[in-house]
Structure 1
Amino acid sequence: MNLWEQFLWVIFPYLSLMTFVLGHVYRYRYDQYGWTPKSSQILERRILMWGVLLLHWGLLFVFGGHVMGLLVPIEVYRAMGVSDHDYHLLSLWAGSVVGVVALIDILLLNLRRWFIGRIRSNTETIKFVTDALLLVVILLGMAATIGYRVYVSQYELQEEFEYRDTIGPWFRSLLYFSPQPELMVEAPLIFQLHTLSAFLLFALWPFSSLVHAWSVPLGYLRRSPVQYRSSNPQATLTRERARKSGKTTPGVEQSRRVE
């Protein structure tokens, strides 16, 4: 194994993961006001509504599918009685549907950002880069999920590439700090490109608006109710007294109009 392969499958992934972790720590420590993305809803609403809603759900399921394929060893599925054929059939159909949804949505957001002048002029460079990179990652993932299977069937190859025996163990070996780069050297090019583009996205993640993915609003579950003050306290008091007594008087109706 040469130095270039060592860089691609050991050094570069570790640099990306280190940047991912330390970048988030730095951003949270020194840029909490910029943690959440700037809303562009006032500039354009319709495309944003569909793009953001479906993209979030699509990426959530994409993330779940990658956890199932990379972090869960193949032996676990076989012990559960899930055959390799059934797993690949599920990953093909489910991955295709989810991937198409995510692809359409990221296309909408990219077109919105590039071709609506008001959005383009109010967008930071890093957002253009990360949105475009997200598009590349999803396109390569779709090519690996669907395109490679079409290639295998077209050329009647004897065996389909099993990423759970190669990419999965390689990725887990990085987390164990015992890298096995030789597992990635013989992987098909489309899988290699998808993997490298994903690690590049991890490296840029902390410096973009993608950091808000970790801002789960759990605080709202335990937050006390917000108290609102009326502009006409006397009218509010009169109305509350009438409500409690079960009566509605002309004075109350008048106070509502005044308030």
Structure 2
Amino acid sequence: MNAADQFLWVIFPYICIAVFIFGHIYRYRTDKFHWTAKSSEFIEKKQLMIGSLLFHLGIIPVIFGHIGGLAVPKTWMAAVGVNDHLYHIGAIYIGGFFGFVTLIGMIILTFRRFSMKNVRQLSSFSDLAVNSLLLFIVFMGMYATVVTNAVQPDFDYRSTISVWFRDLFLLRPNPAFMASVPLSFKIHVLTGFAIFAFWPFTRLVHVWSVPLNYVGRSYILYRRHKPTN
């Protein structure tokens, strides 16, 4: 295994994970005021609503699909009755559908951010960069799912990428598992780790700002006062 493979499949993922963890700690301790995302809803609402709805409806099942495919071994799936054929149907058709929904949502959101002058002026460089990178990641994921799986039907990422991924968190990564992986999957994996490195320094941190305290908070009452002469 050469030095490039050692860097890409061992060193680089650990760098991204470390930046993700310590970057969040640093951001939270030094920049709480800008932790949440700036809203551009007052500039344009229709495309934002459609794109955001499609993206969030698609990305949640996609995330759970990735967790199931990467973190759960094939033997565990087989033990509960999910054989390779059944899993393949779910990954290609169900995963492909939600991936397509996510892709359409990201296309709308990215087009909106770049094409509308007022939205673009409100956006920082990191906003534009993270939109572009997310769109590319989702596109490569769809390309790998639809095109690469059709061209190379014998490739099984659960015997290669998934094993390498689990071993990464067991502190025993083996780059050899990634040697036979098609290029589209490799690009998807590497850019996926890259977005985690960028995460703490972009608007993506607002994902962790779940307003759970709103559930038990008292209502805010607004009263109109007549002007007095």
TM-score, scaled relative to structure 2 = 0.94
Query: 2-side partners of 1:211 and 1:33: how far apart?
Result: 12
- Tell me which residue corresponds to 1:226: 219
Shift of 1:52: 1.2
CA deviation after TM superposition for structure 1 residue 221, in Å:
2.2
2:11 matches 1:2: no
CA–CA distance in 1 between the matches of 2:220 and 2:118?
Answer: 37
Q: 1:68 corresponds to which residue?
A: 68
Corresponding residue of 2:36? 36
Structure having greater relative contact order (Cα 8 Å, sep ≥ 6)? 2
RMSD over aligned CA atoms reads: 1.3
What is the distance in 1 between the residues matched to 2:68 and 2:224?
55
| Residues in 2 aligned to 1:204 and 1:168: alpha-carbon distance in whole angstroms | 23
Counterpart pick for 1:168 among 143, 146, 162: 162
Question: 2:135 is matched with which residue?
Answer: 135
CA drift at 1:230: 4.3
User: 1:185, CA displacement in angstroms?
Assistant: 1.7
The CA distance in 1 between the partners of 2:223 and 2:137, in whole Å, is 51
Say if 1:45 and 1:81 are closer, same or farther in 2 by CA, change over 3 A. same
Distance in 1, Cα, partners of 2:209 & 2:158: 31
For residue 207 of structure 2, what is the amino acid of its counterpart? A
| Structure-1 separation of matches of 2:221 and 2:207 | 30
Q: Structure 2 vs 1, CA of residues 227 and 3 (structure 1 numbering), >3 Å: closer, same or farther? A: closer
For 2:87 and 2:204, locate their aligned partners in 1 and report how far apart those are by CA, in whole Å: 31
* Unmatched segments (≥5 aa) in structure 2: none
Instruction: Return the letter of the residue paired with 1:222.
Output: G
Q: Does 1:113 align with 2:113?
A: yes
* 1:163-185 deviation line (CA, Å, top 9, x unaligned): 11111111111111111111112
- How far off its partner does 1:216 sit? 1.7
CA displacement 1:43-88 (0-9 Å, x = unmatched): 1111001111221221111111100100111111111121101101
Q: 1:40 is matched by which residue type in structure 2?
A: S
Partner of 1:204: 198
> Residue 229 of structure 1: CA displacement?
6.4
Flag as ranges the 4+ runs of structure 1 deviating above 4 A. Answer: 229-232
How far 1:150 sits from its partner (Å)? Answer: 2.1
- Give 1:42 deviation, angstroms: 0.8
Q: Secondary structure of the residue that 1:222 maps to in structure 2?
A: coil
SS of residue matched to 2:157: coil
The letter for the 1-side match of 2:135 is: L
State the 1:104 CA deviation: 0.6
How far off its partner does 1:35 sit?
1.1
1:213 maps to what in 2?
207
TM-score, structure 1 normalization: 0.84
Provide the residue aligned with 1:192 in structure 2. 186
Provide the aligned length of Structure 1 versus Structure 2.
225
Partner of residue 102, structure 2 = 102
Are positions 1:84 and 2:77 aligned together? Answer: no
SS at 1:42 equivalent: coil
1:50 aligns with 2:44: no
